[in-house]
C-alpha cells in the first residue's frame, strides 16, 4: 500500500500519523510519501519518519518530494493537510476582520476568515484532484484541510476522484461528554449530524440507556452555577453550546471555539472591552498561542529527525488526529466493516432536509468498497434552516474561488452572519485580496 501525505510539513498532523502508521502491523511494509512545497520541511519529516520506523522496528518505506506529481503514481490513499500561505496567511484571516470590528475565535472554517481561506485552498485541492486523475485515479482523497466542507464540495463538483473529509471534532465532543457523565468515551454511544464544525448530537446512550436527559440536567445546572474554567476551550463548561442546546434541544459539536463562529450574537466584546463575551476569549487565545508556537514545535521535530534529541515517545501512546485515517484505511484494506463517528461526504438524502449536493458530517461505515455515510433522517427544522443557509453560502464561496470572481466572493461574505454591513464586507475583501494576492492568481485579472 502507498499513502501520500500532501502538506507533510504540518507539525501536528504528520508526527501523529507517522506514529499511528508505525504502530499498525497492517502498514509494516507500506510506503509513505511525504510532500511539501518547502523541500526542507519534506526532507526533515522524511528523516523523522525514517527514525521513528527504525526505532519501532518496522519496515515502513519513506519517500519525499516537493512536487507531488513525483510520488502520486501508484498511490492508494492521498491525505491532504495543507496551509496555502502558511501560518502568516491564517493570521491575516484573523487580524483583517478584527481590524473591522469582526471577531472570530479560529477564522479557518466560517466567518470572513473561512471565506478567505477557502479562496486560497479550493483551487489547490482541485489541482490535487486533477493530478490524481492523471496518476492514481482509483485512489481515495482524504481531506483534513480547513475549511473542510467547501473543500470537499469543490472536489465533488469538479472531479470524479473519491473524496472524504475527516475531522476529530465529534471524537472530542464524545470524550468531553463522557468525562462530564463519568463514563469512558468508548462506552458512550453518540450519533451526531450536521456540517463540519457544527454537527448536532442527536442521541446519547450508555449500555442501551438514553443518557441525554442526564446530560441536559447536568448542563442546565452548570448554566445556573458555572464551574471554574480550565482555560482549555475544548474542556469543561461550554457556555455557547449550552445556550444552543437550550434553544434548539440538541447539543452542538465540537465545542465553543468553532461553534460560536456560526452565530454572530455570541462573538462580541465584553462591556469593558477586555475580551470576548460568552467565554469565547479562550478560543481566540488558543488560536493566538498556536500561531505563535509553530517555530518551537518545528525545532523539536528537526532535532529528533537529526538524532539530536530523544523521540517524543508519549506520542506513540496518544490518540492523534491521524489515528482515524489509519483505522479507516485498515478497514478498507481488510474489508472488515468499521463504524465511524463522523465522516464528511455528499449528502444524497442522508439528511433529507438539506440539499442533496451538500457535504454533511454524519456517522460512517467503512468496508472494502470505501467510506459510506449513514442516513440519520430529518434534522429539526430550526437546525436544518441554519445549516441550509450555510450550505448555500459555502456554495457561493466555492464558485468564487473556482472562478476568481470578486462579485461572488463579496456575496459569500454578505451571506455570512458575522459580517455586519456591505461597507465592512467590501473593505475586508479588498484588504484580503491585496494581502493574499500571491496565493490568489485567479483574482488578478
What pLDDT is attached to residue 291? 86
- Say what the pLDDT of residue 313 is: 76
Q: Is position 198 within any domain? A: no
- Give 235-284 pLDDT, tens digit per residue: 778 999 999 999 999 999 999 999 999 999 999 988 888 889 898 999 99
3-state per-residue secondary structure call for 79-90: EECCCCCHHHHH
Q: Kindly give the parts of the chain with pLDDT less than 70.
A: 230-231, 233, 317-323, 445
Confirm whether 53 is domain-assigned: yes
The predicted pLDDT at position 133 comes to 98
Asked whether residue 98 is assigned to any structural domain, the reply reads: yes
Could you tell me if residue 91 is inside a domain?
yes
Structure confidence by residue, pLDDT tens digits, 205-216: 999 999 999 999
Q: What is the pTM of this model?
A: 0.95
Residue 113 placed within a domain? yes
| Residue 276 placed within a domain | no
Query: In the chain, what percentage of residues exceed pLDDT 70?
Result: 97
For the chain, how many structural domains are there in total? 1
- Secondary structure, 3-state, the chain: CEEEEECCCCCCHHHHHHHHHHCCHHHCCCEEEEECCCHHHHHHHHHHHHHHHHHHCCCCEEEEECCHHHCCCCCCEEEECCCCCHHHHHHHHHHHHHCCCCCCCCCCCCHHHHHHHHHHHHHHHHHHHHHHHHHCCCCEEEECCCCHHHHHHHHHHHCCCEEEECCCHHHHHHHHHHHHHCCCHHHEEEEEEEECCEEEEEEEEECCEECHHHHHHHHHHHHHCCCCCCCCCCCCCCHHHHHHHHHHCCEEECCHHHHHHHCHHHCCECCCCCCECCCCHHHHHHHHHHHHHHHHHHHHHHHHHCCCCCCCCHHHHCCCCCHHHHHHHHHHHHCCCEEEEEEEEECCCCCCCCCCCCEEEEEEEEECCEEEECCCCCCCHHHHHHHHHHHHHHHHHHHHHHHCCHHHHHHHHHCCCCCCCHHHHHHHHHHHHHHCHHHCHHHCC
pLDDT at 358: 98
Tell me the residue range of the domain where 32 lies: 2-165+310-319
d(CA 204, CA 53): 39
CATH code for the domain of 28: 3.40.50.720
- 43 falls within a domain: yes
User: How much is the pLDDT for 23?
Assistant: 86
Is residue 425 assigned to a domain? no
Amino acid at each position: 500500500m502507498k499513502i501520500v501525505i500532501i502538506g507533510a510539513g504540518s507539525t501536528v498532523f504528520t508526527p501523529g500519523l507517522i506514529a499511528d502508521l508505525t504502530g499498525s502491523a497492517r502498514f509494516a511494509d507500506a510506503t509513505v510519501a511525504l510532500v511539501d512545497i518547502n523541500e526542507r520541511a519534506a526532507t526533515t519529516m522524511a528523516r523523522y519518519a525514517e527514525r521513528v520506523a527504525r526505532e519501532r522496528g518496522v519496515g515502513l518505506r519513506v519517500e519525499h518530494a516537493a512536487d507531488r506529481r513525483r510520488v502520486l503514481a501508484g498511490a492508494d490513499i492521498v491525505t491532504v493537510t495543507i496551509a496555502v500561505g502558511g501560518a502568516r496567511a491564517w493570521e491575516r484571516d484573523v487580524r483583517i476582520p478584527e481590524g473591522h470590528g469582526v471577531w472570530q475565535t479560529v477564522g479557518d472554517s466560517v466567518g470572513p476568515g473561512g471565506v478567505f481561506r477557502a479562496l486560497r485552498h479550493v483551487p489547490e485541492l482541485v489541482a490535487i484532484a486533477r493530478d490524481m486523475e492523471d496518476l492514481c485515479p482509483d485512489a481515495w482523497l482524504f481531506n483534513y484541510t480547513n475549511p473542510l466542507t467547501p473543500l470537499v464540495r469543490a472536489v465533488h463538483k469538479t472531479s470524479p476522484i473519491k473524496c472524504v473529509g475527516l475531522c476529530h471534532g465529534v471524537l472530542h465532543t464524545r470524550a468531553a461528554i463522557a468525562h462530564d457523565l463519568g463514563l469512558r468515551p468508548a462506552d458512550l454511544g453518540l450519533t451526531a449530524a450536521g456540517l463540519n464544525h457544527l454537527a448536532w448530537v442527536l442521541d446519547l446512550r450508555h449500555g442501551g440507556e438514553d443518557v441525554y436527559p442526564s446530560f441536559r440536567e447536568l448542563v442546565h445546572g452548570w448554566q445556573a452555577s458555572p464551574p471554574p474554567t480550565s482555560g482549555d476551550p475544548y474542556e469543561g463548561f461550554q457556555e455557547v453550546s449550552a445556550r444552543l442546546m437550550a434553544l434548539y434541544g440538541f447539543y452542538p459539536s465540537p465545542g465553543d471555539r468553532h461553534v460560536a463562529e456560526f452565530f454572530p450574537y455570541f462573538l462580541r466584546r465584553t462591556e469593558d472591552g477586555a475580551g470576548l463575551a460568552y467565554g469565547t476569549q479562550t478560543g481566540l487565545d488558543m488560536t493566538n498561542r498556536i500561531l505563535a508556537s509553530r517555530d518551537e514545535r518545528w525545532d523539536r521535530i528537526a532535532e529528533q529527525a537529526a538524532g539530536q534529541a530523544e523521540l517524543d515517545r508519549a506520542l506513540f501512546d496518544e490518540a492523534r488526529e491521524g489515528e482515524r485515517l489509519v483505522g479507516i484505511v485498515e478497514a478498507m484494506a481488510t474489508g472488515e466493516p468499521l463504524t465511524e463517528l463522523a465522516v464528511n461526504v455528499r449528502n444524497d438524502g442522508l439528511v433529507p432536509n438539506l440539499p442533496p449536493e451538500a457535504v454533511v458530517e454524519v456517522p460512517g461505515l467503512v468496508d472494502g468498497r470505501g467510506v459510506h455515510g449513514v442516513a440519520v433522517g430529518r434534522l429539526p427544522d430550526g437546525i436544518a434552516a441554519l445549516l441550509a443557509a450555510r450550505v448555500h453560502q459555502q456554495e457561493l464561496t466555492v464558485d468564487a474561488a473556482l472562478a476568481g470572481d470578486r462579485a461572488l466572493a463579496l456575496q459569500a461574505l454578505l451571506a455570512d452572519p458575522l459580517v455586519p454591513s456591505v461597507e465592512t464586507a467590501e473593505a475586508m475583501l479588498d484588504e484580503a485580496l491585496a494581502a493574499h494576492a500571491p496565493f490568489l492568481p485567479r483574482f488578478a485579472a
